[in-house]
Amino acid sequence: MKHGALFNGAAVLLAFCFSFCAIMPVSFSSNAEEIVTGIQTVSQSESSLSQEASTTKSNAELLKEKRAELEKNLKETKKKLKELEKDSKDTQEYADALDNKIGYLNEELTLLDNEIYEIQSDIEPLEKKIEKLEESSNIIKSEITEIEKQIDSLNAAFDGNYVEFCQRMRAMYISGDFNILTFLLTSDSLSSFLTRYEMIKCITDRDGELMQNILGQIDEIQSKQSGLAEKKEQLDAEQAQLEADKSELDLKKKEIVEKQDEQKIKKAEFLNEKKKADEALLAINEKNKKYTEFRAEDEELEKQLEQGIQDVIAGAKTEEEVMNELTTSNRGEVETTKKSVSGTDAILNLMYPTPKYTAISDGWPNHSSGRYHGALDFPCPVGTNVLSAQEGKVIFVGNEEKGYGNYIMVYHGTDSKGRSVVTLYAHNSLIVAKKGQQVSKGDIIAISGNTGRSTGPHLHFELRIDGERVNPTNYLSK
């Protein structure tokens, strides 16, 4: 009974091994198939870029509509200028039409700046996305190389075990069950039988171990091949996305160059029209002797200048400091008979800075063309004394050739509401007062002139309350 069980076990094992050999593939040493996978290292940035793209698209549409409107206005203005040129170029209407055209051109330049900014805003996140994709692709390439090495090593180990296993199966198949039975039954003693049985058992155990090793190697190779396929699939996807993003980046960079070229052309046209407007305004002013500023200022320069003025005003002394300083004369002697009007509404009782010349050539708030002016212009001969409209302290003395020319600012303190009061005097030929100097109402602080963007001799006068320009007419008295 014991022997029968042994034989039956051996037969079953041999049958199983033979069946296994019959269904096993000839070899596993071929290279792993290339398929793909990947790691979504940039999924979050892609989602963010998608939202930005929709926002950019909306902005682009708004800019496109604005451009169409400007082109329409420019076309109408050019048509009007052509008609006016038939009569005369030294009329106010012609100068105003030129101003309008310059304004539209300036808007177009601003629009081009915005369009370029929008494109540049798209470029930065796109470049970051490309950088991340390239990093991810390089990581995947390294992982693929490592997996391929591991598969090659596993294939080599498998080939050795597989050859040994096939040889054992072939030998067992050729020998058949009969030989094993004969080998056992021809034992001349029980001891010999048991010895032979143990030998056969060791061989079959070794065959079983070899088979388990092969099965384990097969599973591991298949797992590695599956991982390799996924990595290659992801690499292909990321490479395709990378190429698409690089193409988009090249298009956006090309678009910026085109916009910048267009900007140069528009800027040249703007400067040419600006020159024509200045010449027309100069001719008109020579006819009526009412001088003001050239109107076609550089808006960017105006913004910088305005910011500079606001910075000066923001740095002015406190009311207490000014009141203390205003009680002291310029030579350091204490004035015992005069009381400062700072802190009261009397501070807003201003005198004309050019008392003999109070006619206004260009008023508040706009030029005749409709462009913002924010001041009063008093035509007066070069050399006219410019007086401080109220007591105060000189907080700024400067020169801006493309704007105010020689100009001076005086801080007068605060009104009853605590608002700072500052006056500005521009286009002077000479500044008399010094920065930091205390001045009384009616003191000479400058000599009028025709400096900066002036069309002729005049004084440009501004009143600023809490930094905001207000109409000086409401506060001036002779």
**Every domain of the chain and the residues it spans:** 2-273, 299-477
Q: Please state whether the peptide bond connecting residue 472 to the residue before it is cis, i.e. omega within 30 degrees of 0.
A: no
Quick one: what percent of the chain has pLDDT higher than 70? Answer: 67
CA angle 227, 229, 233 (to 5 degrees): 115
Is the predicted pLDDT of residue 332 greater than 50, yes or no? no
Give the highest mean pLDDT range of 61-65, 157-161, 246-250, 290-294.
246-250
Q: Where are the beta strands (DSSP E) in 14-80?
A: none
Cβ neighbours, 10 Å, residue 263: 18
Rounded Cα–Cα distance for residues 170 and 166 (Å) = 6
Cβ neighbours, 10 Å, residue 207: 18
Residue 26: pLDDT band (50, 70, 90) is very low
Nearest to 55 by CA among 133, 131, 125: 125
Is the predicted pLDDT of residue 331 greater than 70, yes or no? no
Residue 354: pLDDT band (50, 70, 90) is very high
> Beta strands 476-477 and 350-351: pairing type?
parallel
Rounded Cα–Cα distance for residues 62 and 52 (Å) = 15
Rounded Cα–Cα distance for residues 250 and 104 (Å) = 31
Identify the pLDDT of residue 7. Answer: 32
Nearest to 103 by CA among 76, 70, 81: 70
| CATH fit for domain 299-477, picks 2.70.70.10, 3.10.450.50, 1.10.10.2120, 3.30.56.10 | 2.70.70.10
Which helix (H) or strand (E) segment holds residue 433: the answer is: none
Identify the pLDDT of residue 425. Answer: 97
